[in-house]
Structure formats: structure tokens, C-alpha cells
Structure 1
Amino acid sequence: MTFENMMELAERITPVEAEIGAFILKNKEHIPEMSILELAQRTNVSKSAVHRFCKRIGFHGFNELKVAISTDLAESRFNIALIDVNYPFEAQDGPQLIAKKLSKLYETAIEDTYNYLDFVQVQQVARLLNDAKAIDIYTHAHNMNVAENFQDKMLTIGKIVNCPKGFYNQRATVLASTPDQAAIILSYSGRATFIEPIVQVLFRKKIPIILIGKAGSNRYPQYITHALSISSKENLRDRISQFSSHIAMQYMLDVIFGCIYNMGREKNIAYLNASIDFMDDRKVDE
């Protein structure tokens, strides 16, 4: 995970710690050569404040932070040709260049999402969903395509996933849900108006809730059981389309599906083999 990602995910960060982080981000090129005393002097804080900052965002100490910064710098130099995630291609670009730029965009979105992954939490989410009697996914607009893709994959191993659409169906599904189920909220920004009333009822009904969105999108931590972060570089409005967030959301759900599949791999393979003739009646051997 990059230093910038760790800053975004840090909880209960103080104003002083936020200033230290902002200074580091602005002066990343010089941080690997600095001592902890020099950084403390440049930011007008104590050495212990710098050390607490390092601990807060997930490092054991300042030296470990410097190693992470050096790694970030090396990777950014290697990836000089960065793609604008909001406007990845220009008016004069032809098919070949558009294809190349979108390929780079998808690669970057997936790599950035990978850097956010907390693998212990991903496994916990997969286990929770695997054990659930049924899974309800609450989302809207373009994210519904991602939800239905996950639904299709889960059906191939006999897992029931519901994707209620619209105000009425979503709220009726919430009211009909039971504690042996699980819920997934897909929202890049976390600001969609459908979220708050739904998570409140789910929480009262003791139904575990998984939120998937960009870093910092968990606006309801009192209700959310697990929050998973995806690439957060896309602008909420100033963009051609949701190229980056769509592929990042798809990637996250595919990772979760892969973990669920492997939890009962032999059983799932047997289920697929037993159902293939019924599900696909084409005469493929003729």
C-alpha cells in the first residue's frame, strides 16, 4: 500500500499529524534523506510526534516510513506516462491509442485497488458471505452491472445473491431480510442518498453490512461491519465516464468471489460439473 493510501485510510488522525503527512506528501523526494529530527524541525513538532504519526498510519517507525516513500518514488518514476483517469483519451486519438490508454487505465486502477487491500479483512468478508444464507446487494446506476456480474458468478456455485432495483424493491428487501443473510453496499463516493436509511434498518436487524467504495467513503462507520476501499483517483462529476471506478469495483468483487470459491473449491467444482449439462444444452461436441 502506498504512503498516500495509508494516509487516506488512517483513523482518528490529529490536526498535527495531518500537517506532518501533508508535508511529507509535498516533499516526498527529500524524505528518504531526512532524519527524524530534521523532519520534526521542518514541521515544528517534536520527535515523539513524528513517531506517533508513523505508528498512526501503520509503520513501526520513521525508518520504515522512509523505505515506503523510497518505494513509492521508484514506482512513480517507472510509471511516468500516467493516464488521466477522468479523461483518459483525447479528441484526436484513434482506435489504437484509445485502446492502449484504456488498457493502461485499467491496469492502474487495479494496481491501485490492490494496494488498498487488507487481506485479513478480505478473507473475513469472504467467510461472512460464504456462510450467509443469501446476500443482498444495494446499489444503483452503473454499479448495478457489477452487482449482477457478481450475482451470476455466485449462482454458478449455488449461492443466492439478490440485486433489488429501485426505491421500493430495495426497501422491501431490507424489511424482508433476516440475520442469517448479509448485505453489500456498492457506492464509489458513499454519498448516495439510498444508503443511510438502508444501513440503519439493516443494523437494527443485526445483518452484517459490507461497504465497497473509494477510500474515505465510509460515512456510516457505526453501522458498517467491513469497509473495503478501491482506487480513489476518479472525480465524482468531471469525467467522461466511470472507467476507473467500474473496473476497480469489478476487480474487488472478483477477488471476493475467488476467495469464496476457494473456501469450498472441491464442492464448488463438483457443483459446476453436475449442473453444466442442465445449464448449457448446446450440442458442443457435434
Structure 2
Amino acid sequence: MSNIRIQLLNIINRDSSDSMNFIIAKYILENLERMKVISTKELAEECNVSKSSISRFCRKIGYEDFMDLQISIATYNSYVNDQFPRLEENSSKDFIQSYFECTKAIIDYLEKHLDIEVLEQLVQDIHDYQRVVLMGHVQSSFPAFSLQHYLTILHKFVYSTQDLNEQKGMLEKFDERNLIIIFSAGGKFLERVLERTSVMNRRHIPKIYIITANKTTHFPFVYKYIELGETFNYASSVGLEIYSKLISLMYRKKYTDF
């Protein structure tokens, strides 16, 4: 599974727009679907940077060398039909109505299946742990950052990251004193971040919650999976956003007096 788009978006969102890394990331993103084979020299010329800048860029986003980057570009798949339904035969009114129906179905599922005890346990852990880290990628990072924002208002500091390399390092090194909450619409976060899930087969690991909109593979080192739907579709991220808000509301109810 290629993570190239996530890694490039992380550069776009964090680096200055006139930096070399931003320029390189922007070019690759704009040409990702058609740029399956390109040399270091060609990429450097297109971005008006040196070949050494390309090498540094590769290391910056977690690749050993340019060949590693090339492999990731060549194997990239946008899975566009999983993100957006085919709309050619639908009128604008029809596909908008379809989206609303999918969203309503997600809300109905949450209302019927929400485990309040699990929600309360998660909120208690957020309150009790000194170090809490929220993780997500692309659309799943929005509920993570939103939760960070609201918890800060409620005087609870938590850290949020969508940097794949930083996430990998935390999962591999953090111990039981740490709480990690992962938002993953499709449920494939761990397979995407960890080269080997066996790295988690150690004695002292962080307490991990995974909040997903999909039924997914359960790893034994994950403390709790919170599955907010049966299958992933283009409206699934709505469920994550609602659950994120429920966490902050429950925290407000239980742990603030202002």
C-alpha cells in the first residue's frame, strides 16, 4: 500500500510555499497519476532544484533513497471509486440525495449501536493519561484535530499528528504510560503506518483505541476497536466527526465545572 499522497500532503500542509520541499511535493502531487516513471534528473529539472535536494526530500518524507520514492509513485492507487461513487448517470439532485441518505444511515447506525460505556471509558482515559496522542490521515485527521481543539478549550492538552513518520515512531517507541487514539475511516491505519505489526509484540506498549467507520481486522495489541459502521463508503467520515464531537461533549459533562 503506497502512502505517497499522505506524505506529500503533510509537506504541503506544514512547509512554507516557497520551500524546496513544498515545490517538489506540489509537482509530484499534481502529476502523481501520470508520473509513473521519472528520473532524479528529470524531477530536479521540472522543480528547478538540484539532484541533492531531491535526495534530501526523499529522506524527509521517510524514504531511504529515490528508488524507494519511485516504487511508491509507481504503485500508487487513488482508489477513486471507493472515495467517490460513479455519478455519470445521476442527476445532481439524485447524487446529492444519495449522499444525504448515506449520511442519515450513518447517524441511524450510530444511534442504534453506540456503546455509551465504551465512550465513557475512552473519555476517562483521556482525562487520566498525561500524554494523549490523536492520529489520523487526510479526512480522518479532521476529527482528530477538531477533538484536540475542543479538549484544549476544556483545559485538557492532547497532541495531534498526521505525519506518518512521526506516527510510526510513536507507535514503535511509546510505552504503557501513553494513550493513542486513532481515527481511521477505512480501518487500515496500522497496515499503512507500520511496516511490520510484529513491532507491537513487545511487553510495554501504549494503550490504543481505533475509531473506524468500517468493520476491520482486529490486532491483539489494540485495546479497543470502536466500529461506527458496517462498511466504508464516501460518507463514512461523517461518523468519525460525530463521534469526535461526542467525546468532547462527554468530557465537558464529566470533567469540567465551568
TM bucket (normalised to shorter chain) is 0.5 to 0.7
For 1:251, the aligned partner's letter is: I
Q: Describe the SS at the equivalent of 1:142.
A: helix
Cα distance in 2, alignment partners of residues 106 and 100 from structure 1: 10
Are the aligned partners of 1:89 and 1:101 in contact in 2 as well (CA < 8 Å)?
A: no
1:155 to 147, 152, 157: 152
**Is 1:258 aligned with 2:252?**
no
TM-score (norm 1): 0.52
Q: Cα 1:162–1:254, aligned 2, differ >3 Å: closer, same or farther?
A: same
**2:127 alignment partner in structure 1:** 130
Deviation at 1:216, TM superposition (A): 3.2
Question: For residues 253 and 87 of structure 2, what CA distance do their matches in structure 1 show?
Answer: 38
Which residue of 2 is the match for residue 140 of structure 1?
Answer: 137
Name 2:183's counterpart in structure 1: 186
Structure 1 segment 68-79 matched on structure 2, within 5 A:
none
Offset of 1:166 from its aligned partner?
2.7
Normalised TM-score (structure 2):
0.57
- The answer for unaligned runs of 5 or more in structure 1 is 1-84, 236-241, 271-286
User: Structure 1 residue 203: deviation in Å?
Assistant: 6.5
Q: From the superposition, tell whether residues 123 and 86 of structure 1 become closer, same or farther in structure 2 (CA, over 3 Å).
A: same
- Aligned CA distance change for structure 1 residues 167 and 99 (closer, same or farther; 3 Å): closer
Q: Percent of counterpart pairs with the same letter?
A: 13
Alignment partners' CA distance in 2, 1:199 and 1:162? 25
Q: How many residues align?
A: 174
Deviation at 1:197, TM superposition (A): 5.0
Aligned to 2:208: 209
What is the 5 A alignment of 1:8-19?
none
Per the TM alignment, residue 87 of structure 1 is displaced from its structure 2 partner at its CA by 3.6
Deviations 1:189-233 (A, max 9, x none): 33342157579549643421111124532420x211121111223
1:103-118 alignment to 2 at 5 Å? 103-118=100-115
Distance 2:198 2:243 in 1: 21
Q: 2:168 aligns with which of 171, 196, 200?
A: 171
CA distance in 2, matches of 1:159, 1:124: 16
Q: Is the 8 A contact 1:109 1:248 kept in 2?
A: yes
CA distance in 2, matches of 1:199, 1:260: 34
1:75-114 CA-partner distances (Å, limit 9, x unpaired): xxxxxxxxxx9649775533x6555443332221111123
CA deviations over 1:17-46 (Å, ceiling 9, x no partner) = xxxxxxxxxxxxxxxxxxxxxxxxxxxxxx
The structure-2 alpha-carbon separation of the partners of 1:223 and 1:196, relative to structure 1 and needing over 3 Å to count, comes to farther
Residues 198 and 140 from structure 1, CA distance in 2 versus in 1: closer, same or farther, beyond 3 angstroms?
A: farther
Distance in 2 (alpha carbons) for counterparts of 1:199 and 1:122: 28
Gap regions ≥5 residues in structure 2: 1-82
Q: 1:56-84: CA deviations, max 9, x gaps?
A: xxxxxxxxxxxxxxxxxxxxxxxxxxxxx
User: What displacement does 1:234 show?
Assistant: 2.9
The aligned counterpart of 1:231 is 229
CA contact (8 A) 1:199 1:224 kept: no
Q: 1:89 to 1:154 in 2, by over 3 A?
A: farther
In 1: Cα distance, 2:119 partner to 2:211 partner: 11
